[in-house]
Every structure is written in structure tokens, then in C-alpha cells.
Structure 1
């Protein structure tokens, strides 16, 4: 058996079988560790605590611009989400359509170019002609103040106005008060959850907009991948075993929903879940959360283009550049 591997991953339902030991990595002595916040896993990976770990796509790409880039990617996508729903506006700011964001002050969660911000900014540019340099940006925590993430490179392109919120400020409160006009955030502002009329989503019927986006593009936006230390990136047997294990854990989660469909998902407490499951299956297919390069190349290359266009990567990368050679044919 090979030397022990330490792997960090958030305990989603599709990774839970790895964390609790129901699924193991063939021929490998592995320890899976999770954390209360997924960014804790990112930080620990950068500190050298893990051999492989879940990693935000932008966090990975930022390391490609440093000397001796430490990581490569496995085409495993633990976190993905449609992000039209991540754009919020103050209802008194005069923002009725995406084009009205030009000239506005926009908050962004955590850092300029977080994973859930790169996607909507790219979509706003591609489909509505609104580019980041047309806006002013304030970085911070949505519901709780957070300091700047000084443990990861934070490039800001020339010509883009970016500042960090004050120590005790939250972007959610700033949006509700009108201090900022809009917000792009992975976190939902508490004011929205509490029913405030001062904040609305830019796309009120975001589900319909996001479903239409998928129909047109085939993209289910990935946010995170699994990163591996570059010195391990040539270990074909190891990487293939890890890839299979993550796939097996995901298959268990998907199989549960397929098996429960015959009983109208009685094991779940969410009403009308079976209708949602049927709708999603018709749109997204039998494997609605695919791993592998082939099924995700367009989405990943789109993100890589957005990352470069937004001034966060010095060069335009492709899937061929970031994924380990052993898994390029997946």
C-alpha cells in the first residue's frame, strides 16, 4: 500500500460516503478530513496540510501565476451552482435590468473574483454588455465582516475600482441601506431571508432564467475542483483511484434519489421534491452532476476565459493546461 494520503473535502451529500468511510480509495491508505467552512479546506491546502483537496477554481488558477505553481486539478467537481440567482440589487437603486448595473457600486463576497462572482460577471459581459470596469467594487462579508483573504493572490486589473469594506461593515447591510447598489454573493443576504423589501434579486424568476441558460449553453457552472500537489500529478494509479472513489460516492447520492423516486421520495421532508427531481432529470440528464473532462470541458474553458478576461489570470488557460494528464481522457 502507498504512503498515507491526506484529503480535504467538504461533507456534501455526494462526498459523505468518502468522509464516513463507506467508499474507500482502492489500494490507498487515505484520511478524509472536512471543515465547517469550505474556505478552511482551501487555506489548509495552501498551508501544505493535504495531498489532495477540494479547491475553488479561482483559488487554483491564481496559483498558476506564481513561480513553481504548486497544484494541478482533477476533473472532480464537488461544488457547482447556477449563479444568476447570486446577483442582488437595492430596490431604490434604479436597477430594472442587467444593463442598469453599469456605473453602479457593487459588493462582492470575500475577494474580487470569488468563484460565484466570476460566473455572473462573465455572463453579464457576454450577454448584456456590462463589464467589471464599468462598475465600482466593494469586497467584504455578506452577513458577517471578514478580513481580506491575504493567504491567496488577489490581482486587481488596471482600470477597475476595488476597495475593501470597513472592518465592521457587512455587504448585506450596506445593500439594504443603499450604501452599495448591488451585490454578487455566494451567501444570501440575511435581509432577503427575513423578507426585506429593500433588496431584490436582479433576476426575480431566476430559476427560469437559469434553466434557459442551461438549455442554450449546456453549462452547469462548476465552482470547485479537486486539486493535487504537483509532485503527485504523475501518479497515474493514485489519481485514477481517487477519481473512481469520488465518482462512486457521487453515484451513491444520485442512486438514492433514483431509488426513492418509486416511493415519491418519502424519505425527504421537502414537499413536491419528486416533481423537481423529474424536471431536473429531463433537463440535466441521468448524470446531472458529471465528473470528467469531456462532460465539463465547455464549462471549464468558459470559466478560464472569464478568469482571464476579468484580469485574474495572466494568460488564457485551457482544460489541457490545468488537469492532470492521467485524467484528460475522462
Structure 2
């Protein structure tokens, strides 16, 4: 008598009784089919917390999560060595890497966003009264030229304030995540090992982007940046994307169904996060949590996922990346995302 396994892999108990002749069959046998596990590098809070903690899991596979307090090292490990099957990544790093042939593809999951009008700082006594005053001066960049905060901040200077970015001497503190990317000629790297913050305080640069501003002599270039950013959110849905999720191309080719499974899992995790924000259940809220709490008073979901819901924001980021010579040409928004996910949520 042959035993036919059930759909979940268990052999029915009726087939496990002793056969003719008294063979001592065991009382029960189980065939355990484990879901395959894949490595993931994620942040440890916000909209991905429930996945990082295992409270939400994809339906068809296990995520073996490495949780990072600081994600830039994970970005670098992914674009240089494909060390993870999937990774939370800065959107500008992904766009740059994909343009240079790194075999990864994004999912339309955007767990981290930010307002960047307030990311540009000057010294209080530097005599910089308006963004246009930066032309012909040096501006420091924390880390590399392709860092997402820098891309958005430069885009704001150019698109909203008419600053000619080519007339600024850009000074960066680190190298690029994408090893073979070369920034334009107007970008140079610090030679003496000082930090960008130190250069700003001693007057070697007129402004700095993305630094820690905790010093009495450092002030925002745009004093009313919070009011302006919130106004653009209310009138233009302008909430710039910082992070998305990428997956190795070989894995998506082997398991194309994984893409939608992942998007759905990340969406469930985000819904839990938003519910916690509404309930005031975040124990130690950070700046992003407090910002999202504020935006929840205006919209039901300040972190929409999906390509159609974010098309304008993605198109703007791509345009900034091309204008700033991070990529060679403007690419279609949809080309950046796994085909099975492009219509998700539409």
C-alpha cells in the first residue's frame, strides 16, 4: 500500500499502521518541508521593524535578517559584493549601482523618507544670506557625492532656489559605495583627513550638507526649512524617498514569485508601524518617527508603497541623478523595479 502525502507534506496516519506480517512501523512519520531561507540586511526600526523582529514573515520563505543600526555599511557590502539576497538601500546608491551593471533590482517598497530643506548648514557668521550665495564657494558633503541626502539637497538648491550647481566646489569626506563611479570634475575629496564639520567651523567651506549640526555656530541655510518642507508636502505630496529594497537578480530569476511576496510582507510591516504611531506605542521615537506622526495628522499613509503611487517622486529623483551626473541618462521609472511589482497597489 503506497502512502500519498498531503499538501503540507505529512503522510496520513492511516498509512502508517503495521503492514501484513507485523512489521513494526512507527506510530507517526512526518516529512518536514522547510521554507527556504534567504539573507536580508535591514534597518532595525520604523517601517521594517516587524520584519526585522520576525513578527511579520513572507508567506513562501524565511528571511534571515541582519539588522543594522547604521545601514551605509550594508549598502556598500551589497553593491560591491552582493553579500545579501536582499537589502534595504539608499535610492541614489541603487540608481548609481544599477546604471553601472550591478545585478540587483528594486521592489517598490520605500520604508524611509525625509525632508531635506534642513540638511544644508552654514556657519552663523559666514555671511551666507541666501542659497544663491553659495555659487563660487565650497560646500562640504558628509561622506560621498552620491549620498541620497546630498542628491535631494542639491536638487532643492537647483530646482527651488535657482542655484547653479556647476558653480560650486563640492568637497566630500568619503568615497563612493559604488566602487567604479567617478564624480564630476567639480567634486574633490578632503585631503587632510579633517571632517566636513571641522572644515565648516574653521571656514574652509561655506556650507555643509548632512553633518551633525550640534554646535552653537552652525545654523540651517534655510531658517524656515520645516515650514517650507511641510508646505510642499501638503501642496505637492513632496516627501522625498530615501530608502528602498533591492534583491539579487539571480534570486528573482529563480523565484519570480518572491517579489510580490516580499512587497506584501513589507506592506504588512508598515501597517503595523503606522498603527503603533497612531497609538503612541513607539517607546523611543526618533526624528523619523516624530515626523511621520506629524504627517499622519494630514494623510492616512505618509509612506505609500508602489510605483504608481510614487511615480512623480521617483521621476524627480531620477532627474536629479542625471542632472548631477550620477547616472548618464534619464531612465524610465518602471525600469528600476521588478516587472511583477510595477502595478502593485494601483
Structure 1-normalised TM-score? 0.86
User: How much has 1:33 moved relative to structure 2?
Assistant: 1.0
Match of 2:274 among 231, 250, 254: 254
User: How much has 1:167 moved relative to structure 2?
Assistant: 4.7
Q: Does the 8 A contact of 1:112 with 1:154 survive in 2? A: no
What whole-Å deviation, never above 9, does each CA across 1:201-237 have from its counterpart, x for those lacking one? 0112221011122233212100111111112334332
Aligned partner of residue 78 in structure 1, secondary structure: strand
User: How much has 1:64 moved relative to structure 2?
Assistant: 2.5
Query: Rg: which structure is higher?
Result: 2
1:329 aligns with 2:343: yes
User: How much has 1:2 moved relative to structure 2?
Assistant: 5.4
Aligned partner of residue 76 in structure 1, secondary structure: strand
Q: How does 1:179-190 map to 2 (within 5 A)?
A: 179-185=204-210, 188-189=211-212
1:53 aligns with 2:90: no
User: Structure 1 residues 250, 279: CA separation in 2 closer, same or farther (over 3 Å shift)?
Assistant: closer
Matched residues in 2 for 1:299 and 1:150: separation?
A: 23
Q: Does the 8 A contact of 1:121 with 1:131 survive in 2? A: no
Aligned to 1:163: 188
Aligned to 1:144: none
Structure 2: tracts of 5 or more residues without a match: 1-33
User: Structure 1 residues 269, 30: CA separation in 2 closer, same or farther (over 3 Å shift)?
Assistant: closer
User: Structure 1 residues 325, 39: CA separation in 2 closer, same or farther (over 3 Å shift)?
Assistant: same
1:313 aligns with 2:324: no
User: Structure 1 residues 267, 228: CA separation in 2 closer, same or farther (over 3 Å shift)?
Assistant: closer
Matched residues in 2 for 1:266 and 1:21: separation?
A: 18
Aligned to 1:143: none
Aligned to 2:296: 281
User: Structure 1 residues 27, 278: CA separation in 2 closer, same or farther (over 3 Å shift)?
Assistant: closer
Matched residues in 2 for 1:288 and 1:175: separation?
A: 34
Aligned to 2:11: none
Aligned partner of residue 107 in structure 1, secondary structure: strand
Match of 2:258 among 232, 235, 238: 238
Matched residues in 1 for 2:323 and 2:176: separation?
A: 22
Matched residues in 2 for 1:266 and 1:315: separation?
A: 44
Matched residues in 2 for 1:126 and 1:153: separation?
A: 28
Aligned to 1:43: 76
1:200 aligns with 2:195: no
Aligned to 1:225: 244
User: How much has 1:24 moved relative to structure 2?
Assistant: 0.7
The alignment covers a number of residue pairs equal to 306
Q: How does 1:295-306 map to 2 (within 5 A)?
A: 295-306=309-320
Aligned to 2:127: 94
Matched residues in 2 for 1:150 and 1:17: separation?
A: 27
User: How much has 1:52 moved relative to structure 2?
Assistant: 0.9
Aligned to 2:14: none
User: Structure 1 residues 42, 268: CA separation in 2 closer, same or farther (over 3 Å shift)?
Assistant: closer
Matched residues in 1 for 2:168 and 2:333: separation?
A: 30
Matched residues in 2 for 1:82 and 1:209: separation?
A: 10
What whole-Å deviation, never above 9, does each CA across 1:6-26 have from its counterpart, x for those lacking one? 111111232111111111111
Structure 2-normalised TM-score? 0.82
User: How much has 1:286 moved relative to structure 2?
Assistant: 0.4
Match of 2:98 among 46, 52, 64: 64
